[in-house]
Structure 1
């Protein structure tokens, strides 16, 4: 049996001797380990990296996805298509542990792998796979695709992560002081803990929960009957679950159940915590929802040469290094799109998980004005889009491909595929302006702007998610004035398109070309304001102080 010393490879700091197990469906630890889709994984990866740097007594529990999320490829017309390609990871340690988890009243065999801390500089991470010869084909497919579109498979994934992850810890002889559910996917672990500790009160002593989205589509729910049939509730019957959690209705909501099983929960920004309390607070038995704002790991994300230039207030070095980083990015644009961008031209990037409410096409809403913007020779601009739609979200894929088609004939517009950790870093380091324009109150945090600011890219954003805690308009970012809440969605989009274009044309572009000193002052102020508040060392400490300690 693998020992605790072998798992950690380091002695946890006494400041963090409370032991925590961090359950997440995805972790973005390194570009080479493709077991993540977007922001949830980026956050979990940065958390594990900072936990390692601080030598916290924490380990991760996740899933080993055979085909990852998907490969973002192109068809013969250069439009996006999803490809599913088998992954191999020679750097994972086979623990030799195989155990069974009941799914649909049948034993599914689960194999545990370990990503040791020294491989990528992260807290230890156990990854579970059902893709082993002991299982039939259907059982093997449980861990094939992150967020599988088939409902039964998706439920089975949550069972393996939650119940399977808790079982693994028992097999290892690890009884953590805290079970931390990063989003509701692992909520089934509570039914295993209830069978073990025999009461809701005992479960609540040990469990905390982070909710990540105000989008109802992101707060998963399924019919009680199907969940019971699939052994989601472990040994409990449907009526027992409803009585235990004081829940009614036909569907079991993961987020609501997690809030009832936990002693404490958090939203991922101050604004999101307010929204979450409004969404869930009226339900009986829901725990306190506080705020711990997301953050990202500076050591992983930041370009060291640019960071040193910013810290030393060396303007010429900042300008020189920024142009060099832009050239690195532009090689990828030339490679994918056959377009040659110029490092002397302001480069604006919209890049993040691709979902409708994030409004990737807001810039294009007034097409005539958009053409005027990109054809402006006095204040030229280059625009890049990137992001990954959910592979079965046809409307998001259609929007992505519409942007590809509209950008294709324009020499200073490009759409990049392959939006993973590597490309994300390239874009943040190579952009001058990082655009964030979701519909207000729908972005829980939106951490990409943090790592952009670490790398000399100035945020141009609506005041949503983490931005109200950071933004001082014209001093460390540019704010897009939000439209009145009294307007319809269509009218809001129109007004915020006008506000976005006005800010670009009247403030951002003239400053970049006519007032370099002011531009550099904002760039440096943004980098200074990011640290340490939006660096994941703060986040990792805050989870211990606010969530893990008693």
Structure 2
């Protein structure tokens, strides 16, 4: 039976193996192109989890934020370089049941409204989206939910309070107390303090679980403890309770470390990340056990059905025809955005994900002679596409994006696309032959874009990091850049990884693609078969119940 009251219940009969009630908190959810409540990988993961929860008939509800201006709209200026535009969104499919309540933020009461997403709209678990952008609030309070990951630190603290404490207050208003409260990253951490203020830390620990996504301690968010006190981040928890989750003699509050101390169990998002996380946090006392559940993506949403049927049926010719049709759609989008006419018969390389330094978007351009030779090779032609959103205030990443835009003007077979959201992501994965993924090894906790690329007949060419370590059979279902020796400088590491890419391209990928189409098709089909069922989020959503939600009880 659904634990949510009417009219918000699941609308389906809960499967007997998934009856435990769960509230899943996340700052972002990528549910559908029409709902702009995400920025990148964290949201893509959460969206797939909600879709699989629906498919498996789980007793789970999602709690997120309704961003008035979304993350941002990625558009171009007069020089065709990137601009972050903010435009107000409207969502008439979200239901307003006048679910309103107040929470305290920075010494004042702020009104929060929850809008409801019915499961049948997009085929996902029931969801509530919280907003402060309502007429009951003053202007400053309304801006809390204007933009995802606002550049202002005080606004981001307020956003966490609205998601965490506001989400907890919503459940209280609904009259429900889920058996499991799942924090997807540390953003919703105030939910734990809201509960601990009422029930104590030990009782709170019994029901809270935490998924960590950041493989470097320095990358985990930290704040001034006194600032958080001022903003009422801790919902009035006493100093004795706070002393159990943070060092009161130090003004630095580590959000992830506190989440590990208020939860009964945590997980990394790949096997490698689980190992890294356990090693990273082992020197800290009071940390809960850390296991791993490898991220996955929802095949129902992402995979092209016609291509999937052809490969399952062993019809390689039909699969090749369908893949070319998918590439033609991508060619049309490239022409629409850039005026360049790509060729669906040419090997198409795509690098597309969030622009960030450690992901190294422009790695293959760092050996300019090799890069230029690759693009000018008439025997084995290639075309290359980049896409992805930097954080709107990550000026180094924005500059790298714009440098690629400038570079692409020199070569007719390169393109940089804007608007990297769910729809463009799917189009790129369907149209790519090679899905290029070259993060610095151990810096990518999971990285899921290559999973959905593989589901659509794109072959991963990757460094051996994140989920790829559990998937790759080099030369059989993917191509793996050999790891640089430990201890080399960052510059030498990047040079070796760049060299590794070109060696794979010339020794394996290009000759196979152009001279042995049967061998290439075999790699494509191996990739498609190997990526499921393990990297389908149905497995992941099921594992959360068996390994996390039911553990330690």
Corresponding position of 2:176:
174
Pair 1:445-2:422 in alignment: no
- Please show how residues 450-465 of structure 1 align to structure 2 within 5 Å: 450-465=451-466
Question: Which of 192, 195, 198 is the aligned partner of 1:196?
Answer: 198
Pair 1:41-2:38 in alignment: no
Q: CA offsets per residue over residues 390-413 of structure 1, 9 Å max, x none?
A: 000000000000011001221000
TM-score when scaled to structure 2? 0.98
Deviation for aligned residue 1:221: 1.3
Q: What CA distance in whole angstroms lies between the structure 1 residues aligned with 2:358 and 2:437?
A: 11
Q: What CA distance in whole angstroms lies between the structure 2 residues aligned with 1:413 and 1:395?
A: 21
Corresponding position of 2:243:
243
Corresponding position of 1:163:
165
SS at match of 1:443: coil
Corresponding position of 1:17:
19
Q: CA offsets per residue over residues 235-288 of structure 1, 9 Å max, x none?
A: 125x43542325352211110000000000000000001111111122100000
Q: What CA distance in whole angstroms lies between the structure 1 residues aligned with 2:159 and 2:472?
A: 39
Corresponding position of 1:376:
377
**Worse-matched range after superposition: 307-316 or 40-49:** 307-316
Q: What CA distance in whole angstroms lies between the structure 2 residues aligned with 1:96 and 1:219?
A: 36
Q: What CA distance in whole angstroms lies between the structure 2 residues aligned with 1:321 and 1:216?
A: 44
Corresponding position of 1:421:
422
Unaligned runs of 5+ in 1: none
Q: What CA distance in whole angstroms lies between the structure 1 residues aligned with 2:398 and 2:336?
A: 22
Q: CA offsets per residue over residues 27-62 of structure 1, 9 Å max, x none?
A: 000000001000000000000000000100000000
Corresponding position of 1:59:
61
Corresponding position of 2:117:
115
Pair 1:352-2:353 in alignment: yes
Q: What CA distance in whole angstroms lies between the structure 1 residues aligned with 2:23 and 2:181?
A: 5
Q: CA offsets per residue over residues 355-387 of structure 1, 9 Å max, x none?
A: 010000011011111000000011100100000
Q: What CA distance in whole angstroms lies between the structure 2 residues aligned with 1:486 and 1:215?
A: 17
SS at match of 1:7: coil
Corresponding position of 1:89:
91
SS at match of 1:185: coil
Corresponding position of 1:125:
127
Given that residues 8 and 116 in structure 2 are in contact (C-alpha distance below 8 angstroms), is that contact kept between their aligned partners in structure 1?
no
Q: CA offsets per residue over residues 451-492 of structure 1, 9 Å max, x none?
A: 011000000001100011111101110011111121010110
Q: What CA distance in whole angstroms lies between the structure 1 residues aligned with 2:106 and 2:536?
A: 42
Given that residues 347 and 382 in structure 1 are in contact (C-alpha distance below 8 angstroms), is that contact kept between their aligned partners in structure 2?
yes
- Please show how residues 223-262 of structure 1 align to structure 2 within 5 Å: 223-237=224-238, 239-245=239-245, 247-248=247-248, 249-262=250-263
Q: What CA distance in whole angstroms lies between the structure 2 residues aligned with 1:293 and 1:511?
A: 31
**Worse-matched range after superposition: 84-93 or 307-316:** 307-316
Q: 1:431 to 1:479 in 2, by over 3 A?
A: same
TM-score when scaled to structure 1? 0.98
Q: What CA distance in whole angstroms lies between the structure 1 residues aligned with 2:237 and 2:222?
A: 18
Pair 1:148-2:166 in alignment: no
Q: What CA distance in whole angstroms lies between the structure 2 residues aligned with 1:59 and 1:69?
A: 23
Given that residues 246 and 284 in structure 1 are in contact (C-alpha distance below 8 angstroms), is that contact kept between their aligned partners in structure 2?
no
Q: What CA distance in whole angstroms lies between the structure 1 residues aligned with 2:158 and 2:246?
A: 24
Q: What CA distance in whole angstroms lies between the structure 2 residues aligned with 1:241 and 1:144?
A: 33
Deviation for aligned residue 1:95: 2.0
Given that residues 37 and 70 in structure 2 are in contact (C-alpha distance below 8 angstroms), is that contact kept between their aligned partners in structure 1?
yes
Deviation for aligned residue 1:5: 5.1
Q: What CA distance in whole angstroms lies between the structure 2 residues aligned with 1:191 and 1:373?
A: 55
Q: CA offsets per residue over residues 464-521 of structure 1, 9 Å max, x none?
A: 0001111110111001111112101011001111111111111111110011111111
SS at match of 2:334: helix
- Please show how residues 305-316 of structure 1 align to structure 2 within 5 Å: 305-316=306-317
Corresponding position of 2:515:
514
Q: What CA distance in whole angstroms lies between the structure 1 residues aligned with 2:495 and 2:475?
A: 23
Q: What CA distance in whole angstroms lies between the structure 2 residues aligned with 1:321 and 1:211?
A: 38
Q: What CA distance in whole angstroms lies between the structure 2 residues aligned with 1:457 and 1:170?
A: 46
Given that residues 25 and 63 in structure 1 are in contact (C-alpha distance below 8 angstroms), is that contact kept between their aligned partners in structure 2?
yes
Corresponding position of 1:393:
394
Given that residues 349 and 385 in structure 2 are in contact (C-alpha distance below 8 angstroms), is that contact kept between their aligned partners in structure 1?
yes
Q: CA offsets per residue over residues 118-170 of structure 1, 9 Å max, x none?
A: 00000011000000010000000000000011111100000000000011001
Corresponding position of 1:321:
322
Give aligned pairs, total. Answer: 547
Corresponding position of 2:292:
291
Deviation for aligned residue 1:18: 0.2
SS at match of 1:48: helix
Corresponding position of 1:472:
473
Unaligned runs of 5+ in 2: none
Corresponding position of 1:208:
209
Corresponding position of 2:280:
279
Deviation for aligned residue 1:215: 4.1
Q: What CA distance in whole angstroms lies between the structure 2 residues aligned with 1:169 and 1:191?
A: 15
Given that residues 71 and 85 in structure 1 are in contact (C-alpha distance below 8 angstroms), is that contact kept between their aligned partners in structure 2?
yes
Given that residues 373 and 505 in structure 1 are in contact (C-alpha distance below 8 angstroms), is that contact kept between their aligned partners in structure 2?
no
